[in-house]
Amino acid sequence: MLIHLLLLSLGLVLLVKGADWLVDGASVLAKKYNVSDLAIGLTIVAFGTSAPELVVNVVAASGNFPDIVFGNVIGSNNFNLFAILGIAGLITPLAVQSSTVWKEIPFSLLAAIVFFFLANNYFLSSQPFVSSYDGIILLVLFAAFLYYVATQLKNEPQTEVIPNKDYSNLKIWMLIIGGLAFLVGGGKLVVDNAVSMAESLGVSEKIIGLTIVAAGTSLPELATSVVAATKKNADIAIGNIVGSNIFNIFFILGVSVVIRPMNFNPAFNADIYFLIGGSIYLFFAMFTGRRHRLDRWEAAILLAIYLAYTGYLVSLEL
């Protein structure tokens, strides 16, 4: 058991470091071709922080571990929304742009609702199953979100999101290739040892996916949002979370089920309800207290709810 825990921890370290190297190398490469800092932040950095979830899900989908696939994404989104925003909002109140309130937060809510209906096949049959056609629908919606981001970029001023670094081409490609290698190796370690731990402890893969794997793969989002909050950069702190949640459902789940269509465990519905409820809470929190701001007391409620939710999940297995 200790060996599996150590190897899983090593896998998480490799995932976080791999994502960091990949973002660093890809960002500098993009700068060499005069891609704007804002475009890099909304694309490469967003991809980089969600890269651990993507790699874990691709490995889990290839190995036919559906509970890890769904548990990782749903659990990561809940961890992002409740725990990370809760911690960031406690550090400093998060002022939110009007476009995020009226477009991006509702878009993240839409992602959770669409996934719920696709997974439960309410329009086709009573057997919960996510098909490759469902994956294509999710990917089309992700393309629509990217189009929205692209149109937003035309209206945004250039801002410095990525530090200006002068790397040689050799160092850039070493960072990119090394980052990808760490991501693949780390993802394999996380999935294999998470499954082994679940079997050894008699705990379901669902719970392991929703808690340990989900929190571990969300470490880049946690680091990004906490650092942004300490620097009082609310746009990055909250935008990183909302964007990541959209990315996780539309892109990562889309890719996962295109690789391997799989049965959906209806037990996850309660966790999706939790995610939908949290998204609705975040939207209405923009209008309570100070307008278009996540106040500390609202953030504290998010974090307290997440701790209670996690405790409940663990109690079900005892």
Structural domain harbouring 17? 2-317
Question: What phi and psi values does residue 33 have, to the nearest 5 degrees?
Answer: -105, 20
List residues bridging with 262 in a β-sheet: 130
**Of 79-88, 98-107, 224-233, highest mean pLDDT:** 79-88
pLDDT tier, 41 (very low <50, low <70, confident <90, very high otherwise): low
Distance CA 281, CA 89 (A): 14
- Residue that wins the pLDDT comparison between 191 and 242: 242
Range with lowest mean pLDDT among 66-80, 121-135, 297-311 = 121-135
Give the pLDDT score at 101.
Answer: 84
**pLDDT for the residue numbered 137:** 96
pLDDT at 287: 92
Helix (H) or strand (E) holding 47: helix 46-62
**Residue 36 sits in a domain of what CATH number?**
1.20.1420.30
Length of the chain: 318
Across the range 138-155, mean pLDDT stands at 83
Tokens of 158: 């250039």
How many folded domains does the chain comprise? 1
Which is more confidently placed, 89 or 18?
Answer: 89
pLDDT at 102 over 80: yes
User: Quick check: 1 pLDDT over 80?
Assistant: no
Tell me the average pLDDT across 242-270.
92
The tokens of 262 are what? 């799989």
pTM: 0.82
User: In the structure encoding, which two tokens stand for residue 40, read together?
Assistant: 């890099």
